[in-house]
């Protein structure tokens, strides 16, 4: 690989573990000084329209946890492999945006949205929950990072995100987490952190938050069922899902420690960004001139 070849940074980790925030913060730090692009494995899901599923079938699949969106077979791996090879050749290309309402590359308006990836990039940031599972993509990467966040934290964030941003019901989130997301995480995603060519980034460092969360669950009437079971029990007891999630979010991300958490995450980004910049330019990255909006957004309590 020549010194002019684009540096590919591959980022993996559990669902709602902070991968996108990590990549957004790296982009925010590097893009004023280097030509940086971004790719998401979310745009590599199988095209269910092209595979012949009709509208009713696709609507059922969206809420059916038996259709496994977290298994490696749901990815059309030829797409990211082609992307990585093209990036290394310095060529630009178009990326069709996957539509999660139609489960295809055709949007609800019947159009196909595309994003342009520029040619001759210096850094390409790639992220996806299953990205590091693919050996070829790891081999083509200059750096591979596993964003480590405890599973319990990911569950709380996933519940909160899917409820507030994707309009899903608490039951459908619970069923998908327990039947496919968490089992596939244990089988295919978490083991990637132990691979010799993958570096772990401790993206969640509030150990007391995990201890308090564990204590809360253990003191409830649903011992041994974890965060998902605790949330389910609270709902069956008549508590409102929004209130339960906000309560758990305050446990894992206490307001009093927000500045400390942000400082910890910024420290990780600075180390990695400096490494990438030095690899390319042979000198230190200029100082950051402002806050990391991507990191601060992680702690939004609304």
Residue 2, burial from CB neighbour count under 10 angstroms (0-12, 13-18, 19+): exposed
pLDDT in tens, 220-268: 766 557 899 999 999 999 999 999 999 999 999 998 888 888 899 999 9
Q: Rg (Cα) of the chain, in Å, rounded?
A: 20
The dihedral formed by the CA atoms of 30, 105, 15 and 290, expressed in degrees to the nearest 10: 20
Total length of the chain:
302
Starting at the edge strand found earlier in the chain, the sheet holding 143-148 runs: 36-40, 123-127, 7-13, 143-148, 199-202
Residue 113 scores a pLDDT above 50: yes
Helix segments in the chain, DSSP class H = 19-30, 55-63, 78-88, 135-140, 151-165, 170-176, 182-184, 207-218, 226-236, 241-252, 258-281, 293-297
| Domains in the chain, CATH or no CATH each | 7-41+124-297 (3.40.50)
pLDDT in tens, 191-219: 999 999 999 999 998 888 899 998 888 88
Distance of CA 23 to the CA centre of its chain: 9
pLDDT in tens, 54-86: 776 666 665 565 678 899 999 999 999 999 999
- DSSP annotation of 225 reads S
Task: Please report, for residues 43, 116, 182, 223, 265, the alpha-carbon distance to residue 16 in angstroms, rounded to integers and kept in the order given.
Answer: 17, 26, 12, 24, 16
Beta-strand pair 93-96/114-117: antiparallel
d(CA 156, CA 217): 13
| pTM of model > 0.85 | yes
């Amino acid at each position: 690989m020549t010194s002019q070849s684009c540096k590919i940074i591959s980022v993996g980790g559990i669902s709602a573990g902070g991968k996108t925030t990590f990549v957004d913060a790296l982009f925010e730090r590097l893009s004023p000084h280097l030509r940086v692009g971004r790719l998401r494995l979310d745009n590599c899901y199988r095209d269910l329209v092209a595979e012949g599923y009709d509208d009713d079938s696709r609507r059922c699949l969206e809420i059916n946890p038996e259709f496994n969106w977290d298994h490696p077979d749901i990815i059309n791996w030829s797409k990211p492999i082609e992307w990585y090879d093209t990036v290394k050749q310095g060529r630009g290309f178009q990326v069709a945006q996957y539509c999660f309402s139609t489960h295809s590359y055709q949007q609800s308006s019947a159009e196909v949205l595309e994003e342009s990836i520029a040619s001759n990039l210096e850094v390409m940031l790639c992220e996806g929950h299953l990205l590091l599972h693919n050996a070829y993509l790891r081999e083509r990467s200059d750096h591979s990072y596993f964003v480590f966040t405890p599973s319990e934290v990911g569950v709380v964030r996933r519940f909160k995100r899917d409820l507030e941003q994707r309009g899903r019901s608490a039951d459908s989130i619970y069923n998908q987490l327990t039947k496919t997301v968490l089992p596939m995480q244990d089988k295919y995603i978490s083991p990637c952190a132990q691979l010799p060519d993958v570096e772990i980034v401790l993206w969640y460092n509030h150990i007391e938050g995990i201890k308090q969360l564990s204590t809360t669950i253990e003191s409830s009437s649903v011992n041994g069922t974890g965060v998902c079971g605790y949330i389910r029990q609270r709902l069956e007891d008549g508590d409102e899902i929004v209130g339960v999630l906000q309560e758990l979010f305050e446990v894992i991300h206490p307001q009093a420690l927000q500045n400390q958490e942000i400082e910890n995450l910024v420290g990780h980004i600075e180390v990695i960004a400096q490494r990438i910049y030095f690899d390319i330019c042979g000198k230190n990255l200029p100082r950051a001139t402002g806050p990391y909006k991507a990191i601060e957004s992680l702690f939004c309590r609304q």
